[in-house]
Structure 1
Amino acid sequence: MNSLTLPDIATQAARQALPLDWVGMCGIALPVVLQGQRLSAKVDAGVSLDDGEARGIHMSRLYLALAALERQDLSPSLLRQVLEEFLVSHDGLSNSAYLKIHCEVLLKRPALVSPLAGWKSYPVSISASLKNQVFHVELKIDLPYSSTCPCSAALARQLIQQQFIDDFANKPLQHAEVLTWLGSSQGIVATPHSQRSTAHLHMHLDEFIDELPLSVIINDAEAALGTAVQTAVKRADEQAFALANGQNLMFCEDAARRLNLALRRSPGVSGFHLRVIHAESLHAHDAVAESRWQRELA
């Protein structure tokens, strides 16, 4: 049996004494529990290396501390517990600890009219830091939705009006004939263009929040937009979706303002940066709007 002690190169002195802001691992595969769901995640874990004389950190200690994320539902208190373990295992080396979790949350969403329902995936990132005993949590969510251009809708209505003039000028109007005209491609000669759009939400959470307000934020944001993309649908649901788009015409500026007002009311959110992208069907480029807000200190 070999009696020699295994070498620990990380304890050796650095060739150049210099502190480092962040040292750790990225893309660690790990199952996590979020809102009762067991999800496949990728995790970034790291600490600062404040002792400039030290050669490196103990990455295996960070890896082993992540095991707590497999057993309990993700919460700010659990994130802080893991970060504190990072620092305890690097006492004398590090004053700051960082954790980032990337996953996709599945939420079951009902159809607009029919009794159908289906699952929708939301990319989520949770970032937490503990720096000089100051704890900070951020939450990122990507939301897909539909947007119909108000300008395109107005232009389409004008073409329909012109077609009505062409077809019925100097003719006595008959109810049945007009009704048939309205339901035909001969009458409705133009439709507005819509696009699948995305809202990227980046929230700063209150320091003492108990839970991650994931579902609340998603529900509030989708309600504000009014045209969240659907899952399982029947024709009645598709018609209801067409109605929702027609009643919620919006430029990217409109979407950004709606989300700004909704997120300000979300519990536990102390600030945010949002970015909406309308992947236009008319242009080869996207229409984009951004907005920020930070709660003023009392």
Structure 2
Amino acid sequence: MRDVQNETDDRNLEIDRVGVRDISWPIAVPDRDSGTQETIANVSLSVSLPRDYRGTHMSRFVEVLSSQEKRVTFHNMEGLLETLRARLAARDAHALFDFPYFITKSAPVSGAKGRVRCDVRFDASLVDDEFDLVTTVTAPIQTLCPCSKEISDFGAHNQRAHAVMEVRLSGFVWLEEFVKMADDCASAPIYSLLKREDEKFVTERAYMHPKFVEDAVRDLALAMRAEPRVLWYRVSVASHESIHNHDAFAVIVGDKRNG
């Protein structure tokens, strides 16, 4: 049978990334409370393609994914890329895993338990034998505007916001630890289940801790600075404004690898 992919191409153009994306794949990730959490990831896999090859072998991407352990962690992403690169005879390999992750939170007064969704991404690359992994955790939080509180006779506008933490790590960090950092930088945490006494507590806590997105993102950056396992970070907070027809956002990038 003719192997069309291995035919020589004479256009003299290397392809930076070629592969497959939007693969729904069951995975298990470490869960601090229960050991592992089953979830579904949206997966993209790609490799570089030399200029003299017409095409890559698309089926091999799924074969490599199928051959891996279902447990996807900080520790085995490099092995996945090494296998991918060897199987496809490529110089570079890349993988993206996007998946929902659920944190169980207890309401602050009643103790009622509910699950809050966070969104996680593993962005891994193996380029010229250099492995890189950026982990992104997006967690919902609440912000209350200090200016609105200052100028209003009653109340202040408050809204749901999202804290996005992109990090390069030197060691394993629980996803729950990042969610706690996000909660601590907010006017108040977000819960999925609140009784009346909890709602009173949360709204009053937010009122007593007003924060602009600038305040929240600075507090989040300080938490990243203080965490020795974080080598590099890009943190952002976006507030989905309740009285404006736009979002407010702020971003800080820090690199501790060079002191």
**Which secondary structure does the structure 1 equivalent of 2:12 belong to?**
coil
Q: Per-residue deviation at 1:68? A: 4.4
Which among 19, 22, 46 is matched to residue 27 of structure 1?
22
**Which secondary structure does the structure 1 equivalent of 2:75 belong to?**
helix
After superposition, residues 171-182 of structure 1 pair within 5 angstroms as none
- Gap change, CA 1:295 and 1:193, over 3 Å in 2: same
Q: Per-residue deviation at 1:267? A: 4.5
Say whether residues 1:191 and 2:155 are aligned partners. yes
Q: Distance in 2 between matches of 1:87 and 1:281?
A: 48
In structure 2, the residue matched to 1:162 is none
Say whether residues 1:100 and 2:96 are aligned partners. yes
In structure 2, the residue matched to 1:134 is 130
Aligned-pair RMSD on alpha carbons?
1.6
Q: Distance in 2 between matches of 1:226 and 1:262?
A: 15
Q: Distance in 1 between matches of 2:164 and 2:19?
A: 27
Which among 197, 201, 221 is matched to residue 236 of structure 1?
197
What percentage of aligned pairs have identical amino acids?
26
Q: Distance in 1 between matches of 2:142 and 2:47?
A: 41
- Deviations for 1:40-80, whole angstroms, at most 9, x for unmatched residues? 1110001111x2111111121121111245x3432233111
Q: Is the 8 A contact 2:187 2:210 kept in 1?
A: no
- Gap change, CA 1:107 and 1:267, over 3 Å in 2: farther
Q: Is the 8 A contact 1:142 1:198 kept in 2?
A: yes
Tell which structure's C-alpha radius of gyration is larger: 1
In structure 1, the residue matched to 2:66 is 67
Q: Distance in 2 between matches of 1:78 and 1:296?
A: 22
TM-score by length of 2: 0.92
Q: Per-residue deviation at 1:297? A: 2.1
Counterpart of 1:148, as a letter, is: L
Q: Is the 8 A contact 2:19 2:46 kept in 1?
A: yes
In structure 1, the residue matched to 2:33 is none
In structure 2, the residue matched to 1:201 is 165
Q: Per-residue deviation at 1:220? A: 2.1
TM-score by length of 1: 0.81
**Which secondary structure does the structure 1 equivalent of 2:214 belong to?**
helix
Alignment: residue pair count: 254
Q: Distance in 1 between matches of 2:63 and 2:16?
A: 22
- Which structure 1 residue ranges, 5 or more long, are not aligned? 1-5, 160-189
